[in-house]
Amino acid sequence: MSVHTAAARFGVVIVAMFLVVSLAAPWIAPFDPLLQEIGDRLQPPSLHHWLGTDGLGRDVLSRLIYGTRPTLALAVFVAVLMAPIGMTLGILGGHFGGWIDRVLSGLTNIVMAFPQLILALAFVGALGPGLPNVALALVLTGWPAYARLARAETQLLRRTDYIAAAQMLGIVGPRLLFGHVLPACVPALRVRLALDLAGIILAAAALGFLGLGVRPPTPEWGTMVAEGGKVVFDQWWIAAAPGTAILLASLAFNCLADGLRDRTA
Amino acid sequence: MRIEQPELVVRDLSVHAGAAEGARALVDRISLTVGKERVALVGESGSGKSLTARAIMGLLRAPLVASASELRFGCTDLRTLGPRGWNALRGRHLALVLQDPRRALNAVLTVGRQLDEMVRLHGRFPYAQRRERIAAMLRAVGLTTDVLAAYPAALSGGMGQRVVLAMMLVNDPELLIADEPTSALDEALRDQVLELMCELVSARGMGLLLISHDLQQVARYCDRALVMFRGRIVDECPAVALAHSTHPYTRTLWSCRPSGRTYGSDLPVLDREWQAGEAVR
Amino acid sequence: MSDIVIESLRVGFTGGRSDHMVLDSLDLVIDAGETFGVIGPSGCGKSTLLRVIGGVERRWSGHIRLFEHSLAPRERFVGSLRRTVQMVFQDPYASLHPRHTIERALAEPLQVHHVPQPVRVAHEALEEVGLPASLARRYPHQLSGGQRQRVAIARALLLKPRLLLLDEPTSALDLSTQAGVLNLLNRLKAIHQMTLILVSHDRGVIAHLCDRAAIMAAGRIVRLVDRSELSED
C-alpha cells in the first residue's frame, strides 16, 4: 500500500502498532490485567506501574494493552460482516432493478432513517450485553450505507463497456455480479469502510461506557473510561489512558482512510 | 507595443518526469526556432509535442521539470521568468490555443465578458475603444457581435474555437502556439478553422507553432515541419517536402493513413527494428 | 437470401412532450461475408444500431433476422445466437475489466462456454492477434492502447462468431497503431470468414476496409454507398 502523506503513514503505523500489541499482549503486558491488589489501588503513574492502578488495584497499562483486543476484534468482526452484506444487497438492487430494487431500497431507507447508535443501543438492550451482541447490533445498523454506495456504483457500471462486453460473451448471473461488478465496486467501498472503522471504535467505546459492552472484569477501553470517570478529578490517569487510546485508534483509522481515498483517486 | 524581433529560440529543451537524477526524459534535448513563419511540431501521442508547447509557455506542473540551455522569446529569457513576467507575456505577446475550446472558456461567463477581460488585462482602453477592438476581432474570425451575449455551452465546436482564437488574438500577440486546435472538431470544420488561423497569422505578421498529429494537414498549412518521436526530433524538413521524405518514420506516418486507395492492401507500419533502434539511442 | 435483415427498426424514448427517436424506421440488408460500414456524425444513432444487433440494447421494435435466428425485442441472446454475434468496442481501456488479468479476460468466456483447455486457447488467441503469450499475466493498464485493442479483438473472436460488430475500433488509437490494427482486421476477416459491420466517423477507415457502406443521420439511413464511390475517398 503506497502511503503518500505523513498523515496516511501515521495511520498505517498506529494501526499496525495496535495490531501487534493486541496479538502480543500476553508477552508485553507487565501485569495480569485481572489481578487485583486492593492495597495498591488508585496509585499514580510510577516506575512500577507506568500508568498507575485503577480502583481495584489493577495495572492500567496492562488493561490498556489487553483492551486492544476487544476493540480490534469488534472492528474486524463488524467490518467483515457489514460491508459484504450491504454490498450484496446493493449490487442485487442496482443490477436487477424493478421490484427487487424497490424492496431493497425501501429496506435500506428504513434502517438508515434510525440513528445508528440509538438503534444499536436498542438491539443490545434487547439481546443483552457482550461483544458478539454489540458487533451484531452495529452490523445490523451499519449496512445501509454500503448498500447505497454499492447500488449507485452498480448502476454506473451498467453503462460501462466492460460489463456490456462480459454480457455479450455470455457471462451472466452470479458470475457477472460477483466476478465483474463487485470488484469494480470495491475501491469506493474500501475507503468508506476505513472511515467507518473509526466510527465503530467510538460506537463500541460508547456502548462500553454505558455498560452494554464487554462484561467486566474483561478490560475494554470504553468500560475503563466509565470506571475512571468516577474518580476523574483526583485520579485522572484511569480515564485519560483509555480515552487517549480511543482517540488514537479513531484518528489512525481516519488517517488511513484519507490515505486510501487519495490512492483510490 | 510590439516586441522588436519576436523570435522564439529553443535550445536543448528537456522535460523530465521528476527532479531526481534518473528521471525519465519525456522530451529529450530538442531545439527549434520560430520566426514570422508557420512551424509545425508533428508526432503521435507520447511523442512529447504537447509537453514541449507547455514547457515553452511555462505551463508545466509539478512533478514535471523543464530545462534548456536557451529558451527565449525576443530578448526575454523564458527560463527565469516569474509569475508577473509570465502574466505580462501570455495573452499579450504569446498566445496559446488548445484542443478543446470548451475547456478554454469559462462556462459561467458570457463570451463578451471574457473577451472584454482579455483586453482589459493587458491595457487601459476606454469602453468604446474596447468594444470596437472586440468587434473588429470578431469580424476577423468570421463571427458577429451576436455571440457576445452567448455562454460557451451554447457555441458549437467550430464557433467555440473561433471565439478562443478571437480571445487569443485580440491583443495582437507576436506568436501563436496551437496545440491540436482542430482534433476535437468534425472533419468538415477542420480545414475551415485552420485556414482562418493561417490567414490571421499572415495578415498580422505573426509566427505560428502548430502542434499536430496530422501530417497531411501540416503539409497543407505550414512552412516547416519538425517530426517528433519519443521525445526527440527525428526529422526536419519544409512542409511541402513531407510527402517525399526519406526518413522511415515520416514516410510511414505519411502513408499509413487508410483511404479508398488502400482498400484490400496492407497499410505501412512502423518498422520494429527502427523503433527499437530509436529507443536505444 | 440475404443473411442479415433489419426492417423498420425503431429505438426511442417516448414521454413528455416530445418523442426522441434514436433510430427511426431503419431498414438494412447485409450479405454474409460482407464488410459493411456505417458512417455518420456523433449522435446519429450508429452506435445504438450496433448495440441492438449485438443484443446489448434490447428495447427496440421492428423486425431483425440474423442468419437463421429471428430476434425478438427484450429477448436475451443465449446459446448459439449469443456466440454468433460479438463486438469490439471503441475505447480499449473501457472494454477490458480493469481488475482482471488479460488471461482471465480471455479464459473466462471459454470456461463459461465449456471450451476445453481455456488457458491454452487463450494464449493461442493472443498469438493470433500478434501479441506475445507473456502478456497474459498483465493488467489492462499495463498495456498500450493498440495492445488493448488487439486483446479486445482476440476476445471477440474466442467464440468463433459469424458476425463481428466494430464500434469505432481505431478512433482512440494513433495513426500508426491504427494501421497495424486495420491490417490485423483485414487478415482475420479473411481467415475466419466473418461478416463485419464497422461503425466509424472516419471515411478513410470505412473506405479502406468496407465493401459497402450506409450513411446515417438523425437515426435514419440517408443513402447507401457502393465500392466505387468509396474508392474515391
Q: pLDDT at position B281, please?
A: 40
Our CA-based measurement puts residue A191 at a distance from the nearest CA of chain C, in whole angstroms, of: 17
Q: Which of the residue ranges B48-57, B161-170, B177-186 would you say has the lowest mean pLDDT?
A: B177-186
Provide the CATH number for the domain around residue C177: 3.40.50.300
Give me the amino acid identity at B12: D
Q: In chain B, what residues touch C231 (CB-CB under 8 Å)?
A: 260-261, 263
Q: Chain A window 136-175: which residues touch C at a Cβ cutoff of 8 Å?
A: 160-162, 164-172, 175
Give me the amino acid identity at C187: R
Q: Give the pLDDT band of residue B280 (cuts 50, 70, 90).
A: very low
CB pair distance less than 8 Å for A169 and C55: no
Establish if A1 belongs to a structural domain: no
Give the range of the structural domain holding residue A211, as residue numbers without chain letter: 6-264
- A-contacting chains (≥3 CB pairs under 8 Å): C
Work out the average pLDDT over B233-240: 92
Question: Using alpha carbons only, how large is chain B's radius of gyration in Å?
Answer: 20
A94-129 pLDDT per residue, tens: 998 889 999 999 999 999 888 888 888 888 888 887
Q: How many domains does chain C have?
A: 1
State how far the Cα of B153 lies from the Cα of B102, in Å rounded to an integer: 7
By C-alpha distance, which of A53, A29, A36 is closest to A237? Answer: A53
Q: pLDDT at position A197, please?
A: 86
DSSP string, C43-112: TSSHHHHHHHHTTS----EEEEEETTEEE-TTPPP-HHHHHHEEEE-S-TTTTS-TTS-HHHHHHHHHHH
Write the CB contacts of B247 (distance below 8 Å, at least 6 apart in sequence): B227, B234, B235
Nearest to C207 among B252, B263, B268 (CB): B263
- C-contacting chains (≥3 CB pairs under 8 Å): A, B
Residue A90 has pLDDT above 90, yes or no: yes
CB pair distance less than 8 Å for C94 and A164: no
Establish if A187 belongs to a structural domain: yes
C21-30 pLDDT per residue, tens: 888 888 999 9
Mean pLDDT of chain B: 87
Cβ(A87)–Cβ(A150) below 8 Å: yes
Q: Give the pLDDT band of residue B182 (cuts 50, 70, 90).
A: confident
Q: Specify the DSSP element, H or E, that contains A96.
A: helix A60-96
Q: Specify the DSSP element, H or E, that contains B40.
A: strand B38-42
pTM of the model: 0.78
CB pair distance less than 8 Å for A170 and C96: no
Work out the average pLDDT over C199-206: 89
Tell how strand B224-229 and strand B38-42 pair up.
parallel
Q: Which of the residue ranges A212-216, A250-254, C8-12, C72-76 would you say has the lowest mean pLDDT?
A: A212-216
Q: In chain C, what residues touch A175 (CB-CB under 8 Å)?
A: 112
Give the range of the structural domain holding residue C62, as residue numbers without chain letter: 4-230
- What percent of chain B stands above pLDDT 90? 36
Tell me the torsion sign for CA atoms B32, B38, B39, B44: positive
State how far the Cα of B73 lies from the Cα of B96, in Å rounded to an integer: 14
Nearest to C179 among B261, B263, B267 (CB): B267
Q: In chain A, what residues touch C159 (CB-CB under 8 Å)?
A: 169-170
CB pair distance less than 8 Å for A165 and C87: yes
Q: pLDDT at position C129, please?
A: 92
Q: Give the pLDDT band of residue C216 (cuts 50, 70, 90).
A: very high
Work out the average pLDDT over C138-150: 90
CB pair distance less than 8 Å for B260 and C207: yes
Respond yes or no on whether the N-terminal peptide bond of residue B101 is cis (omega within 30° of 0): no
Establish if A126 belongs to a structural domain: yes
Q: How many domains does chain A have?
A: 1
Nearest to C56 among A167, A172, A180 (CB): A167
Q: Which residues pair with B229 in a beta bridge?
A: B232
A173-184 pLDDT per residue, tens: 899 999 999 998
Provide the CATH number for the domain around residue A170: 1.10.3720.10
Establish if A147 belongs to a structural domain: yes
B15-28 pLDDT per residue, tens: 998 877 778 888 99
- B-contacting chains (≥3 CB pairs under 8 Å): C
B69-127 pLDDT per residue, tens: 999 998 889 888 888 889 888 888 999 998 877 788 898 999 999 999 989 988 888 99
- C-alpha C153 chain-centroid distance: 9
Q: pLDDT at position C158, please?
A: 93
State how far the Cα of A47 lies from the Cα of A62, in Å rounded to an integer: 14
State how far the Cα of C14 lies from the Cα of A158, in Å rounded to an integer: 22
